[in-house]
Amino acid sequence: MSSPTGNIYDRDPSEDVIQQLKSIATKLRMDSIKCTNAAKSGHPTSCASCADILAVLFWHTMKHNPEDPRNPNNDRFILSKGHAAPILYSVQVELGHVKEEELENLRKIDSDLEGHPTPRLDFVDVATGSLGQGLSCAAGMAYGAKYIDKASLRVFCVMGDGESAEGSVWEAMHFASHYKLNNLIACIDVNRLGQSEPTSIGHDMDTYKRRCEAFGWKTFVVDGHDVRSLVQVFFDARQSEDKPVMILAKTFKGKGLPGIENELEWHGKALGDKADKILQALNETTKGAKPVTLVPERPAKAELEVITPTKVALSDKPEYEIGKLMATRQAYGTALVKLATVYPRIIALDCDVKNSTFSENLKKVYPQRFIECFIAEQNAVGVAIGLGTRHRFIPFLSTFAAFFSRGYDQIRMGAISQANVKFVGSHVGVSIGEDGPSQMALEDIAMFRAIPNCTVFYPSDAVSTERACELAANVEGMCFIRTGRPANPVIYKGDETFEVGKAKVIRQSETDVVTVIGGGVTLHEAIKAAEQLAGKGVNIRVVDLFTIKPLDADTIVKHAKMTKGRVVTVEDHYPEGGLGDAVASVLAQYPDIVMKKLAVKQLPRSGPPQALVDMYEIGAKSIVAAVEGDWANTIGQK
């Protein structure tokens, strides 16, 4: 093979190269049809529209080693339109990385070729399938590669047109141009048809172009089925010097599938008994074509090494006087710097509240390792997920905990991506005070508990917060650390050891009649209650869970039994899905243990923090009442 310039990977390769790319695209369409037909479900028409794009990207534009898809020097690829998974799998078959017969197992329970791509597959970095998320992850990878790893790799992201209605896409567009991510190349497969009707913009390529340009991207419109044009435009895209690049590819859904191309009713359907005839027709088009000998160009340079996770420890142990008032959010800022000092791959991200979450501490010391994501939480989560891929970075993303609800779909998908992001949410509960309910996280524990494999830390003082951060940096997977706004007394000595899933008994005597379990502000209220009750000759045990997930069921049950089978939980959170529900879920398995749950039972309002804590019955007075009150009656029901 040769090209006018002598290099097959150049802007104007020979006709032979173009013919081979066309043959590959046809093969990808055929593979996609066959495997979705075998599965009796899937999205073959969404595959057909991007077949030419993927052929050009994987065999001509991208520099990668298909035998070693996790090689850190490879260009990256994200299929944001995850429902086109079959064509990505077909690409891997044609590249020789996945066995052809495995395609027959698409969507089967024992195959990793799932309905939408997940990192169970070594050629997938992030899971997709909830639309509009891929670009943020790609932007995170591109940011890390350009600014921190200082590598020359490119990140490619193929999106659907329907998903460009998602606001998260425009958050990512803004982020990428703001940070001049010229190593990020996205392509929208504008096939005009959504699931249930045509997209709102259809084939109006000008509108797409104006929007992308207005958001600061170098933008090309191209016929997404013209292989030579695609080769050229992607070649040009690689030359961008300070802007991310958007390729708007005008395509047809079901392209090349006679009777199906450009028809509405074929979203998410296998072709069934129409398949044979269509496969025949596709096969016809490759007749006489030379066999494919084209292979992808390998990365020019081996710039990056594989990162192996290593243990990360605080540079200095926590140093606080017992009883000193210190907000856990402030201890987070301290811990972040201590960890970053030891491990250069600790990165902090924030959403324009860094002076409230204290992530600005890191920015002050290591400005290159802080990423301001502005007020765009969805994208921030996606960027963090992207940064965390392949162990390249350990991203700590902070904002007000309430605003993680903005990125909950991204967090949900992060679990499927096996993401390694540490979420740090401050300003939780009514104890934030006057700003009122819009700023109060009261459902954050419920949110993060329901994420599989997510570790939920709820440290209650500065020492345990620093240790929570240290443990989180070492946990493989997603973590949530709940920090608070008010300053509360330090409880632990600096050398206290903490473990994931291990609670601490912070106050006990042999005559304790109830175990009280709190977290953050309410743990301090429990301590106050214990002191008040002790004055009346009633002793209670106080437990600090430290981690809410995994939960230390053994400690809870053991101490519940030692305190007459009585437990009170108290939390600055709504009653559903939080600390109380976590404990109830354990205690419901045991007879002879009864539990009362104190939580914020109404929509709260603005007011002074302590007044709100008392008003919503999660303060010392309410704990005392729960311990003293009708307990005799409850136990009496036995």
Instruction: Supply the residues annotated as catalytic.
Output: 377
Note every long-range contact of 581-590, with CB atoms under 8 Å and residues 24 or more positions apart, other chains counting: 581/446, 582/445, 582/449, 582/548, 582/549, 582/551, 583/517, 583/545, 583/551, 583/556, 585/551, 586/551, 586/553, 586/556, 586/557, 587/556, 587/557, 587/560, 590/557, 590/560
- Tokens representing 126 are 């992030």
632 binds a second copy (CB under 8 A): no
Where do the DSSP E strands lie in 377-493?
394-400, 422-426, 455-457, 479-482, 487-489
605 binds a second copy (CB under 8 A): yes
Q: Rank residues 484 and 565 by Cβ distance to a second copy and give the closer one.
A: 565
585 binds a second copy (CB under 8 A): yes
- Shortest reach from residue 456's CB to a second copy, in Å: 9
Query: 138 to 167, contacts with a second copy by CB under 8 A?
Result: 162-163, 165-167
Compose the 502-541 pattern: x for residues touching a second copy by CB under 8 A, - for all others. Answer: ----------------------------------------
Enclosing H/E stretch for 504: strand 504-507
Q: Rank residues 281 and 375 by Cβ distance to a second copy and give the closer one.
A: 375
Looking at this protein, which amino acid is placed at residue 188?
I
- Shortest reach from residue 173's CB to a second copy, in Å: 9
- Distance (Å, rounded) from C-alpha 560 to C-alpha 132? 47
Diameter of the chain measured on Cα atoms: 95
353 binds a second copy (CB under 8 A): yes
- Distance (Å, rounded) from C-alpha 512 to C-alpha 515? 7
Is residue 152 left, alpha or beta, with left meaning phi > 0 and alpha meaning psi from -120 to 50?
alpha
* Residue 541 to residues 127, 272, 503, 529, 538, Cα–Cα distance (Å): 44, 66, 13, 11, 10
User: Is the separation of the CB atoms in 322 and 347 below 8 Å?
Assistant: no
17 binds a second copy (CB under 8 A): no
- Shortest reach from residue 165's CB to a second copy, in Å: 4
450 binds a second copy (CB under 8 A): yes
Q: Cα dihedral sign for 543, 549, 550, 551?
A: positive
606 binds a second copy (CB under 8 A): yes
Is residue 499 left, alpha or beta, with left meaning phi > 0 and alpha meaning psi from -120 to 50?
beta
633 binds a second copy (CB under 8 A): no
Q: Rank residues 55 and 186 by Cβ distance to a second copy and give the closer one.
A: 186
635 binds a second copy (CB under 8 A): yes
276 binds a second copy (CB under 8 A): no
Is residue 344 left, alpha or beta, with left meaning phi > 0 and alpha meaning psi from -120 to 50?
alpha
- Shortest reach from residue 637's CB to a second copy, in Å: 7
Pick from 584, 617, 628, 631: which binds a second copy (CB under 8 A)? 584
Query: 281 to 320, contacts with a second copy by CB under 8 A?
Result: none
Pick from 235, 343, 366, 374: which binds a second copy (CB under 8 A)? 374
Q: Rank residues 231 and 383 by Cβ distance to a second copy and give the closer one.
A: 383
Of the ranges 91-99, 303-311, 373-381, 620-628, which one interacts with a second copy (CB under 8 A)?
A: 373-381
Pick from 615, 617, 625, 631: which binds a second copy (CB under 8 A)? 615
Enclosing H/E stretch for 26: helix 15-39
630 binds a second copy (CB under 8 A): no
174 binds a second copy (CB under 8 A): yes
619 binds a second copy (CB under 8 A): no
User: Exposure pattern of 516-538 as b/e (b: 16+ CB <10 Å)?
Assistant: bbbbbbbbbbbbebbebbeeeeb
638 binds a second copy (CB under 8 A): yes
- Shortest reach from residue 303's CB to a second copy, in Å: 29
- Shortest reach from residue 15's CB to a second copy, in Å: 38
Of the ranges 218-226, 349-357, 487-495, 526-534, which one interacts with a second copy (CB under 8 A)?
A: 349-357
DSSP string for 552-617? -HHHHHHHHHHTTTEEEEE-SS-SSSSHHHHHHHHHTTSTT-EEEEE---S------HHHHHHHTT
Pick from 22, 76, 412, 504: which binds a second copy (CB under 8 A)? 412
473 binds a second copy (CB under 8 A): no
- Shortest reach from residue 524's CB to a second copy, in Å: 20
DSSP state of 291: P
* Residue 119 to residues 22, 157, 407, Cα–Cα distance (Å): 29, 16, 20
Pick from 33, 131, 257, 527: which binds a second copy (CB under 8 A)? 131
Of the ranges 39-47, 224-232, 318-326, 327-335, which one interacts with a second copy (CB under 8 A)?
A: 39-47
- Distance (Å, rounded) from C-alpha 613 to C-alpha 609? 6
593 binds a second copy (CB under 8 A): yes
20 binds a second copy (CB under 8 A): no
Pick from 93, 447, 462, 479: which binds a second copy (CB under 8 A)? 447
Q: Rank residues 343 and 590 by Cβ distance to a second copy and give the closer one.
A: 590
Query: 216 to 255, contacts with a second copy by CB under 8 A?
Result: 216
Count of residues interacting with a second copy (CB under 8 A): 120
Enclosing H/E stretch for 146: none
Query: 550 to 569, contacts with a second copy by CB under 8 A?
Result: 565
82 binds a second copy (CB under 8 A): yes
Pick from 549, 572, 619, 623: which binds a second copy (CB under 8 A)? 549
- Shortest reach from residue 453's CB to a second copy, in Å: 7
- Shortest reach from residue 344's CB to a second copy, in Å: 24
- Distance (Å, rounded) from C-alpha 347 to C-alpha 6? 43
129 binds a second copy (CB under 8 A): yes
Q: Which residue has the tokens 């973590």?
A: 479
User: Is the separation of the CB atoms in 447 and 406 below 8 Å?
Assistant: no
- Distance (Å, rounded) from C-alpha 587 to C-alpha 140? 42
Helix axes of 275-285 and 15-39: crossing angle, nearest 10 degrees: 170
- Shortest reach from residue 134's CB to a second copy, in Å: 12
- Distance (Å, rounded) from C-alpha 294 to C-alpha 3? 13
User: Is the separation of the CB atoms in 568 and 583 below 8 Å?
Assistant: no
